[in-house]
Structure 1
Amino acid sequence: MKKVLLSLLAVAGCLLASSEAVKAQTPQQPLKIGVFDIEIMMQVMPGYRGVDSAVQVYERDSLANEYDFYQSEYHRLDSTYKADSAAGKAKSVLDLQKQSRQQVAMNLIYWQQIAENKSQQKRAILAQPITEKVVAAYKKVLDAKKFTLVLKPNSFEFFGSSAVENIFVLVAKELKVALPQELGGTGNVESDEAKPAGAGTKPAPKAH
Structure 2
Amino acid sequence: MKKVLVGCVVIAASLLCCLQSNAQMKIGTFDEQSVLGLMPGIQKVDTLLQKYVADSLKPEYDYELSELMRLDSSFKKDSAGMQPSTRSIVQKEINQHKYKIVNWQQYQNQQLEQKQEELLYPYKQKIYASLEKIIKEQKYTHVFKSDMLLVAPPQDNLVIKVALDLKLKFPKDVEDQLRAQGLLGSSPASAPAGTTPKPKPANKN
TM-score between both structures, scaled by the size of structure 2: 0.75
| Deviation string, structure 1 residues 53-77 (Cα, Å, up to 9, x no partner) | 1111112331112111111111111
One-letter amino acid of the structure 1 residue matched with residue 48 of structure 2: A
RMSD in angstroms over aligned alpha carbons?
Answer: 3.0
| Deviation string, structure 1 residues 86-110 (Cα, Å, up to 9, x no partner) | 4x22111111110001111111122
Contact (CA 8 Å) 1:137, 1:175: kept in 2 or not? Answer: yes
| Residue number among 13, 20, 30 corresponding to 2:24 in the alignment | 30
State the 4+ residue runs in structure 1 displaced beyond 6 angstroms.
181-189
How far did 1:173 drift? 1.6
Alpha carbons of 1:128 and 1:31: their partners in 2 closer, same or farther (altered >3 Å)?
A: same
- 1:98 pairs with 2:109: no
- Of the structure 1 ranges 135-144 and 163-172, higher mean CA displacement relative to structure 2 is found in 163-172
* Structure of larger gyration radius: 1
Aligned equivalent of 2:171? 180
Aligned equivalent of 2:157? 166
Alpha carbons of 1:187 and 1:119: their partners in 2 closer, same or farther (altered >3 Å)?
A: farther
- 1:89 pairs with 2:85: no
Number of matched pairs = 182
Alpha carbons of 1:29 and 1:182: their partners in 2 closer, same or farther (altered >3 Å)?
A: farther
Correspondence 1:1-208 to 2 at 5 A: 29-86=23-80, 88-158=81-151, 161-162=152-153, 165-180=156-171, 191-204=187-200, 206-208=202-204
TM-score between both structures, scaled by the size of structure 1: 0.74
Identity %: 32
One-letter amino acid of the structure 2 residue matched with residue 68 of structure 1: D
Greater relative CO, 1 or 2 (CA 8 Å, sep 6+):
2
Distance in 2 (alpha carbons) for counterparts of 1:70 and 1:91: 25
Distance in 2 (alpha carbons) for counterparts of 1:173 and 1:137: 10
Distance in 1 (alpha carbons) for counterparts of 2:55 and 2:125: 28
